[in-house]
A and B are shown apart, each in its own frame.
Chain A
Amino acid sequence: MEKRADTFNRVAELIEPFNKKGVSLSDATTFATDLEWDSLTVMDFVASIEDEFDIIITMNMQAEIENVGQLVDTVISVQDN
């Protein structure tokens, strides 16, 4: 569980620079609706996640990710692979 909380915090930190409206973050926060990100913001953000965790999040995975919780789970599962 500690790893998940730690990953969540690191992800949340990377969201902050793009969190223009100061939305408070939970697992259920969605990127498109709550954070109102466009495709350019998503691209920059995904690149920063990939660099932070030294992983790749393919477009195939991105298509399945709608909220912060799903992203955190994806980051953990990709790291474990």
Chain B
Amino acid sequence: MTDLFSKFDPLIQQREDLLSTGIKDPFSLVMEKVISPTVALCNGKETILLGTYNYMGMTFDPDVLAAGKKALDEFGAGTTGSRVLNGTYSPHRDCEEALKEFYGMDHAMVFSTGYQANLGIISTMASKEDYIILDIDSHASIYDGCALGNAQIVPFRHNDIDALEKRLKRLPPEAGKLVVLEGVYSMLGDIAPLKEMITIAKAHGAMVLVDEAHSMGFIGPKGRGVAEDQGVLDQVDFVIGTFSKSVGTVGGFCVSNHPKFEVLRLVCRPYVFTASLPPSVVATAATSIRKLMHAGDKRAHLWENSRKLHKGLKDLGFQLGTETPQSAIISVIMPDLERGAAMWEALLDRGVYVNLARPPATPAGMTLLRCSLCAEHSSEQVDDIIGRFKAAGAAAGVLG
């Protein structure tokens, strides 16, 4: 018998080699207690959370919690059903209303996760004779949406406007085309030149989908994302987003002004063939989304935090993913996986949790320590973090 698991042997070996050096497993951390959006107990130690994508700190917002508890009492623990059968309760509809208000768009469709939103929308919309043109550094859920469908897939170099234009020019003018972009790319924390790219896409008759997972609530005057910030939201055909970052719970969505959008509820398999979110979850999401519409002060403080951490780490001599702070993600480039894991552990020992990212999730085979800031981080916490990075960098042999 061929063991179907033997294909994983190299990965199992790499993991064993890493752990045999005495390093803690960076992929099996358990938080014993969560004290606030920015602090948890890890291994019995109070730890500053700097890798949670909880950008707006909504996870413990009192109004959000109250809405969830109320829905839990009134509607029960779960729906036990698909959105198109017995799984649509009034809180699901209300959550979609909140999304329409937030984006100022005509239609909103809530999925069980952001991953499923990309999977469903991308695979359903583009069929065999259509083309999907996407940035090569796109999120796994975008690639998996392509793989689930059967459209022709055309990747272009990350954030390269010319590369996008060249490819669009070479495609048959009459073919159906969907250009897929992200507002913020989560590995390096860089933003896309959406204005230029969307103008080009439209000039070549393509529809445009933008995944704003890492910008919702924070970037743009109303927190609608990078497309809003660059003044091109009205030209985006589909915005994909998630509740698992700024919104502070779980779930995914697509908003659109397309007049035929609602038909997707009938044909989109990752929407139809799975159970809907629990009513308490959509109730927390709706409350959070409506509060994010008026969160200008929080946005301003989050920008301050992001700038401060970027400058602090740069001044210490760390190599960062972007020259300037572009989002709430500050990505620290590690020389290799071994030192990346050592640095990750040295930070955890000093009470800072960051996200360790490595290939294949990362571009160019990089090992990254991804820091995501929260509007609830105080300036003092950010100072603390910088000090602990300095000590950890010296201990792990990452800083010279």
Contact = CB atoms under 8 A, between A and B. Distances in A.
* A, B bound: yes
Interface of A: 38, 40, 43, 47, 50-51, 54-56, 58-60
A60 to B, nearest CB: 6
Contacts of B167: 50, 56
B157 A43 contact: yes
Interface stretch (B148-156, B236-244, B289-297): B148-156
The 9 A-B pairs with the shortest beta carbon distances in the complex, nearest first, are A59-B153, A58-B152, A56-B170, A58-B154, A58-B153, A60-B152, A56-B154, A60-B153, A56-B167
Interface string B132-176: 000010000000001000001111010000010011001100000
B129 to A, nearest CB: 12
Contacts of B157: 43, 47
B170 A54 contact: yes
6 contacts: A40-B365, A47-B163, A50-B167, A56-B170, A58-B153, A59-B146
Contacts of A38: 365
Contacts, number: 28
B364 interface: yes
Interface centre among B131, B146, B166, B364, by most A CB within 10 Å? B166
Contacts of A59: 146, 153-155
Interface of B: 131, 136, 146, 152-155, 157, 163, 166-167, 170-171, 364-365
A65 B171 CA distance: 20
Contacts of A43: 136, 155, 157
Contacts of A47: 157, 163
Nearest to A53: B170
A55 B146 CA distance: 21
Nearest to B143: A59
Nearest to A55: B170
Nearest to A44: B157
A40 B152 CA distance: 20
Given A40-B364, A47-B163, A56 B155 contact: no
Contacts of B364: 40
Nearest to B134: A59
Given A50-B166, A55-B170, A59-B154, 18 more contacts: A38-B365, A40-B364, A43-B136, A43-B155, A43-B157, A47-B157, A47-B163, A50-B170, A51-B166, A54-B170, A56-B154, A56-B167, A56-B170, A58-B152, A58-B153, A58-B154, A59-B153, A59-B155
Nearest to A59: B153
A38 B163 CA distance: 21
A43 B153 CA distance: 13
B136 to A, nearest CB: 6
Contacts of A40: 364-365
Nearest to B163: A47
Nearest to B170: A56
A7 B171 CA distance: 21
Contacts of A58: 131, 152-154
A49 to B, nearest CB: 12
